Structure 1
């Protein structure tokens, strides 16, 4: 998922949510070998990677620098939507449309549903622009912040958090994203786990920054003149 073409009106609304920086980030392609190597070195007891020379871990500072998400604010502790009917009511209230059961997977809504709504929406007024930004935020949740290696769906439990558009920025999305990464790493490090989920963009970017010898070498690096 890449950012949409520049739209100053939409940009202003994105600033209000606190997601402006992460809107500029594309999805990082899964690097299976690097992920598997890091998972093998993750210790759930200490929540750190055990390397031959040291221990290291992704921190809140890393989340703020890489994803640009706030690490301050209200904790995200609200109860999840408990049923399909509750999810339908939430979608109807916020988007005036509900997904069909074929567009859902358990407690997930397929990302293609939100993508289709976003692409068809006409930005006629502030209400429609706010709805457009909410679609994009749900896409971010399902791809960069709380996605998995398949990047196909997003949990509908996040919907109530977007109900109050002005209040979206009040939550500590950065700490929630980091918590999700820790939980994903602990689950993935279990012997019987076959899948990897979590914010892979954060995870891989952190590895390339902190362990720079692992970073891919660009085929066509950009050169900038020094003045």
Structure 2
């Protein structure tokens, strides 16, 4: 973060001046939805309105290609260096077998195009560039590729040039696919034939296009991949210079935008990315299985196991109820601390503006989910939807250092919000998906975690005998600093895990009463005779 004013492609106004202070005003809006629709301007067509009104909405159909990637396997040794040079090789290992329809459907119906974020009872959250860095290990610094739309003749010429097929074969394949697409099975066949004839560069083109079609740029067809993506692979020595991480995020946002409409019945896109992001940030919502043999040098997406045996078949309705009870301490706001030695935080992850992939342009406004970066979440500026050219978006990204989100106040407690944020958020959003919850709990960002892995979980009546009267949270900071200092100065007295658990216990004992306080523990007197 930088201490500088945020630049953007369009002017924005302060939310406090556009209806944030509306306690005494009569607001028009939607039942259970935003009372002030100035932010979520497309809510009338959103799936959340249908769910709230009781209309039946089936779980989304998912298109997961994990098995296709696994079946094709790693590239043969002759092209390994070419594949690695593009920066896309980490995708080979980042594919789960089964998509969890219930959990993905419940998150998709909380996504909003206007803010590029999920709306939860704890505020807005989103998949960030930093998430993709840790989950997938893809290149981030680089240029956008324009991925120009292709007509039939251009598609055929690309396939003839880069895959060494005849014009007749290319025309037959695109004709069968009904446009500038080829089948994934057809690509696998081309790859095998080019390996047999030792046309290694062509084999690499086929392999990488298949990999992109099964992962980063998966689409609703479930069987086809757009030929436009091979344009970025024409020169394999230059392919690593593209911002694949940003391109993947744009594609994910674009698919979420489509799937969150009330008329949608399917979610395409990179299922592994979304599902593993949920596992990392919301372990109290999604009961997940971590690979005990996971090595931290691998992308974090490789950490999670999702097979028919391990994925819980809970309904979307069950997940809705669980997420409606979500509190700030239930989320894992910054889950990659252990991964930082492998994948360091890059300043470009603090970019705030617009991202593009070909004709698709999405908003990426960090000010809406600053609590994911360790800063207190404040009311963001009101979004202004202005037209920008591709060149403007590309230029802003190229000079990303001039467009980094300004740093705010650090959180005392992970996920902390400004005092007025929750009240504002409950006016402009629909934090709950099921009736009758309509009013924000005043301690929404102070309540203790409520782990609800199934339809219901018994409430514990145990009272900690060590709990004392609450004291100010500054003492929590001192306690954490003391624990870390002792661990660094007196090595061998505690393991890293023990120290982390101790710090987490201190943080999770936080309560709120207008100011932030922390419960202190009485020192136990022990007889050391």
Please say whether Structure 1 and Structure 2 have the same fold, judged by a TM-score greater than 0.5.
yes
The TM-score, its normalising length taken from structure 2, stands at: 0.39
Determine the C-alpha separation between the residues in 2 that align with 1:88 and 1:26: 30
Determine the C-alpha separation between the residues in 2 that align with 1:150 and 1:175: 23
Say yes or no: does 1:38 pair with 2:111.
no
Shift in CA distance, 118/166, structure 1 to aligned 2, threshold 3 Å: same
Say yes or no: does 1:55 pair with 2:55.
no
Shift in CA distance, 210/12, structure 1 to aligned 2, threshold 3 Å: same
**Counterpart position of 1:202:** 273
The correspondence for 1:111, drawn from 170, 177, 184, is: 184
The correspondence for 1:146, drawn from 210, 214, 217, is: 217
The correspondence for 2:236, drawn from 156, 162, 165, is: 165
Following superposition, the deviation at residue 6 of structure 1 comes to 7.0
2:184 and 2:223 in contact (8 A); partners too: yes
**Counterpart position of 1:77:** 146
Determine the C-alpha separation between the residues in 2 that align with 1:193 and 1:172: 29
State the Cα deviation string for residues 4-60 of structure 1 (Å, max 9, x = none): 357443222222111121122235422211111001111222111112223211001
1:166 aligned counterpart, secondary structure? coil
Following superposition, the deviation at residue 85 of structure 1 comes to 1.8
Following superposition, the deviation at residue 155 of structure 1 comes to 0.7
Determine the C-alpha separation between the residues in 2 that align with 1:223 and 1:154: 31
The correspondence for 1:176, drawn from 247, 257, 282, is: 247
The TM-score, its normalising length taken from structure 1, stands at: 0.86
The correspondence for 1:130, drawn from 187, 201, 207, is: 201
Following superposition, the deviation at residue 195 of structure 1 comes to 1.8
Determine the C-alpha separation between the residues in 2 that align with 1:136 and 1:41: 35
1:103 and 1:113 in contact (8 A); partners too: no
**Counterpart position of 1:67:** 136
Q: Where is the helix percentage greater, Structure 1 or Structure 2?
A: 1
Determine the C-alpha separation between the residues in 2 that align with 1:160 and 1:45: 30
**Counterpart position of 2:473:** none
Determine the C-alpha separation between the residues in 2 that align with 1:136 and 1:156: 13
2:83 and 2:204 in contact (8 A); partners too: yes
Q: Which has the higher contact order (CA 8 A, sep 6+)?
A: 1
**Counterpart position of 2:155:** 87
| Greater shift in the superposed pair: 157-166 or 30-39 | 157-166
Question: Which blocks of at least 5 consecutive residues in structure 1 are unaligned?
Answer: none
1:148 and 1:200 in contact (8 A); partners too: no
Following superposition, the deviation at residue 78 of structure 1 comes to 4.1
2:162 and 2:205 in contact (8 A); partners too: no
| Greater shift in the superposed pair: 178-187 or 208-217 | 208-217
1:212 aligned counterpart, secondary structure? coil
1:75 aligned counterpart, secondary structure? coil
Determine the C-alpha separation between the residues in 1 that align with 2:74 and 2:114: 44
**Counterpart position of 2:194:** 121
Following superposition, the deviation at residue 94 of structure 1 comes to 1.0
Q: Which portions of structure 1, spanning 4 or more consecutive aligned residues, are displaced by more than 4 angstroms?
A: 220-224
1:27 and 1:144 in contact (8 A); partners too: no
Say yes or no: does 1:216 pair with 2:285.
no
Following superposition, the deviation at residue 160 of structure 1 comes to 1.9
Question: Which blocks of at least 5 consecutive residues in structure 2 are unaligned?
Answer: 1-68, 296-529
Shift in CA distance, 75/204, structure 1 to aligned 2, threshold 3 Å: same
Determine the C-alpha separation between the residues in 2 that align with 1:149 and 1:30: 14
| Greater shift in the superposed pair: 132-141 or 142-151 | 142-151
Paired positions, count: 221
Shift in CA distance, 16/222, structure 1 to aligned 2, threshold 3 Å: closer
1:71 and 1:175 in contact (8 A); partners too: yes
2:111 and 2:119 in contact (8 A); partners too: yes
2:215 aligned counterpart, secondary structure? helix
